[in-house]
């Protein structure tokens, strides 16, 4: 099936963590739809071993306008800086809080520093990214859209993932609470919850192998039989930012290959 056609000309989109993986795919899709895309990441170069060109250059090639602003979302001041930088292009219309880190570890021996880093990026980064974008939209009188990257981990506990699962559960509730508070201002807030995605941080996952989630001795298979690619997930963000989703807010859209069906 062909991809739906979207027109995001005259739209400025910030994508945190846009240098690689899902964020890179989101940025490319918005760029192909004519948007100005600001990649807010700690590094410009992609982590993917088979990719060399930075995301902002790809956005330019696809017909959009690409920009890069070095950003660590664990630092509130840096989130505010990238939102202010978007003012050069009229201000943020769509904020995609996508940046995240992953640390695996058992509940009984997880290092506090790892826990704090997970929360600083995955939860606090989303909270203050939402806040900064909303304040910019309110200041400009824009009824914008905020999209957060949650995960199946927001609802599905996985072995040695409790600290990561907790951060994604926080993202889901930040989304719901922010949607409630910002509805009167016409700002919609939604989340996308990917399942297992074959990216540079998903070590050991290739696109062709059978897919399953293991929690101790319990194995749960992915009904569609494979992990997602970043492109499988990116389209959900364009839909949620579009007029077709104009009456959708506070929702989490699961893009998981049917993992939660059973």
Give the model's pLDDT for residue 201: 44
Looking at per-residue pLDDT, the higher value among 255 and 197 belongs to: 255
Give the torsion through C-alpha atoms of 226, 117, 71, 254, to 10 deg. Answer: 30
Active-site residue flag, 164? yes
- Give the model's confidence band at 161: pLDDT under 50 very low, under 70 low, under 90 confident, else very high: confident
Active-site residue among 6, 8, 68, 164?
164
How far apart CA 33 and CA 18 sit, in angstroms, is: 16
How far apart CA 240 and CA 179 sit, in angstroms, is: 13
Give the mean pLDDT of 217-236.
78
In the chain, % of residues over pLDDT 70: 89
Give the model's pLDDT for residue 204: 41
196-218 tens-digit pLDDT: 886 544 444 444 333 444 444 34
Measured CA to CA in angstroms, residue 138 lies from 13, 41, 77, 117, 257 at distances of 16, 24, 19, 30, 36
Give the model's pLDDT for residue 222: 77
Give the model's pLDDT for residue 259: 81
- Per the prediction, the chain carries an average pLDDT of 89
Q: Both ends of the chain: CA-CA distance in Å?
A: 26
- pLDDT score of 40 more than 50: yes
- pLDDT score of 139 more than 90: yes
- Give the model's confidence band at 262: pLDDT under 50 very low, under 70 low, under 90 confident, else very high: low
Angle between helix 125-140 and 162-182 (nearest 10): 20
Closest CA to 201 of 238, 230, 169, 235: 230
Give the mean pLDDT of 151-166.
84
Give the model's pLDDT for residue 65: 98
> Which residue reads 């940046």 in tokens?
99
Give the model's pLDDT for residue 187: 98
Looking at per-residue pLDDT, the higher value among 78 and 213 belongs to: 78
Give the mean pLDDT of 84-99.
97
> Which residue reads 């939102």 in tokens?
83
How far apart CA 54 and CA 203 sit, in angstroms, is: 22
Q: Buried b / exposed e across 93-118, counting CB within 10 Å, b at 16+?
A: bbbbbbbbbbbebeeeebeeeebeeb
Contact present, 142 and 10 (Cβ < 8 Å): no
Domains and CATH numbers, the chain: 12-261 (3.40.50.720)
Lowest mean pLDDT of 6-10, 102-106, 197-201, name the range.
197-201
């Amino acid at each position: 099936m062909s991809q739906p056609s979207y027109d995001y000309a005259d739209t400025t989109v910030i994508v945190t963590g846009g240098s690689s993986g899902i964020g890179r795919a989101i940025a490319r899709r918005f760029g192909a739809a004519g948007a100005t895309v600001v990649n807010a990441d700690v590094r410009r170069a992609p982590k993917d071993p088979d990719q060399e060109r930075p995301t902002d250059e790809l956005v330019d090639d696809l017909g959009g306008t690409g920009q890069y602003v070095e950003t660590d979302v664990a630092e509130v001041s840096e989130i505010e800086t990238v939102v202010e930088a978007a003012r050069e292009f009229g201000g943020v219309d769509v904020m995609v809080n996508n940046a995240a880190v992953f640390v695996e570890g058992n509940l009984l021996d997880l290092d506090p520093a790892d826990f704090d880093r997970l929360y600083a990026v995955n939860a606090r980064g989303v909270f203050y990214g939402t806040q900064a974008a909303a304040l910019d939209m309110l200041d400009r009188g824009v009824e914008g859209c905020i999209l957060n990257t949650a995960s199946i981990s927001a609802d599905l506990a996985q072995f040695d993932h409790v600290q990561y699962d907790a951060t994604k559960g926080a993202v889901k509730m930040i989304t719901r609470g922010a949607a409630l508070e910002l509805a009167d201002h016409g700002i919609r807030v939604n989340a996308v919850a990917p399942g297992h995605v074959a990216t540079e941080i998903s070590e050991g996952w290739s696109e062709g192998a059978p897919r399953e989630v293991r929690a101790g001795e319990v194995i749960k298979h992915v009904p569609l039989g494979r992990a997602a690619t970043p492109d499988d997930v990116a389209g959900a963000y364009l839909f949620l930012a579009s007029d077709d989703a104009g009456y959708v807010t506070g929702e989490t859209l699961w893009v998981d290959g049917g993992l939660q069906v059973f």
